[in-house]
Amino acid sequence: MTDADELRRRTQELLAAHPPAETGRLDFLRARFDAGLAWVHFPEGLGGLGLPRSLQAVVDAELEAAGAPDNDPRRIGIGLGMAAPTILQYGTDEQKARFLRPLWTGEEVWCQLFSEPGAGSDLAALGTRAVREGDGWVVDGQKVWTSSAHLARWAILIARTDPDVPKHRGITYFVCDMTDPGVEVRPLRQITGEAEFNEVFLTGVRIPDDRRLGQTGDGWRVAQTTLNNERVAIGGMRLPREGGMIGPVARTWRERPGLRTHDLHQRLLKLWVEAEVARLTGERLRQQLVAGQPGPEGAGMKLAFARLNQEISGLEVELRGEEGLLYDDWTMRRPELVDFTGRDAGYRYLRSKGNSIEGGTSEVLLNIVAERVLGLPAEPRTDKDVAWKDLAR
């Protein structure tokens, strides 16, 4: 029996023991995790079976055909795409057992406390401090652009634990309880009118040392696992042909021939081809991930994602003319997830501006591609060997 056959057998056993029509959604998801069918490439006992990542499609197809519920992956994308791989690689056995199951089932939402208003695109220059006190740490600082902080129970957090060494070496990685005293979440209203992002203030927040991921001072290396997975999650999403932003534009083009001009036709064709190339490249990147960990190639995919979204949404507004400027809802809202394709063209145009900032700015990602993919000389860095406390701020 092949691994695929064995997975089909296990999936049918799960469905027989927990019929989706008769089992509560959360109960079914918990049973699926315990059966090792959540993410089959994870180890046994942690939602997986230690099988190749590519075989997950076998399980997903069987469950979809049976009408089984999923774990609403868009809502818990930060946990699935960023926190889980990092916990798996650097967490203790106790941390893996505590966090991975409720993370995957969606019982606990996660957010990411990385970016800071004083560090900008230079994440390693962060100033949030974590000071050792007894058997834990006391954290003070501010984070910004934190998606889902208003929904999250847990956060992945990086903070400076040693200001006397160069900036990349004095950082430590933690898991922060967003319900602890001293954690304050404030909404950031965006150009769309929504507040899906937040700023988070940390004042005397106490984090036990058993919520540290990796070694003290090694947080930058741990964070690279998170960031590489984040870029793949953003730029390498699995899409059907004409999925994503190109879909609404192509439908408008077909349904409303009176909007067409030769120039718009040529631009649409160019962007359609580029979107399809990006989609197929993302599929190849996911196939490469089966054999190992995500690398700097994810930065290239995220770059393409941001540029295409902005160019396609701009074309859509131009194609629709005055109608393209309409936007149905400017009220202050706190959405659980971003809906690019279910809103007006004006919303897509405005929201896509953030794509070149979130998940790493395009300028930083261009440097990553240049240095780590193309092998070009690195830019001069005068602060490489300077202690963080001596840097100009």
Catalytic residues: 230
**Close Cβ partners of 10 (under 8 Å, ≥ 6 residues apart):** 35, 36, 37
CA–CA distance, 110 with 271 (Å, rounded to integer) = 34
Kindly tell me the burial class for residue 367, based on how many C-beta atoms sit within 10 Å of its own C-beta (0-12, 13-18, 19 or more): middle
CA–CA distance, 345 with 351 (Å, rounded to integer) = 10
33: helix, strand or coil: helix
CA–CA distance, 197 with 210 (Å, rounded to integer) = 28
- Going by C-alpha positions, the residue among 252, 241, 256 that lies closest to residue 345 is 252
Residue whose structure tokens are 């809202």: 333
Q: Is the distance from CB of 264 to CB of 318 less than 8 angstroms?
A: yes
Q: Is the distance from CB of 306 to CB of 361 less than 8 angstroms?
A: no
CA–CA distance, 86 with 250 (Å, rounded to integer) = 38
User: b or e along 108-118 (b: 16 or more beta carbons within 10 Å of the residue's beta carbon)?
Assistant: bbbbbbbbbee
Kindly tell me the burial class for residue 252, based on how many C-beta atoms sit within 10 Å of its own C-beta (0-12, 13-18, 19 or more): middle
Strands 154-160 and 110-113, sheet pairing: parallel
- Tell me the longest C-alpha to C-alpha distance in the chain: 71
Amino acid at 231: R
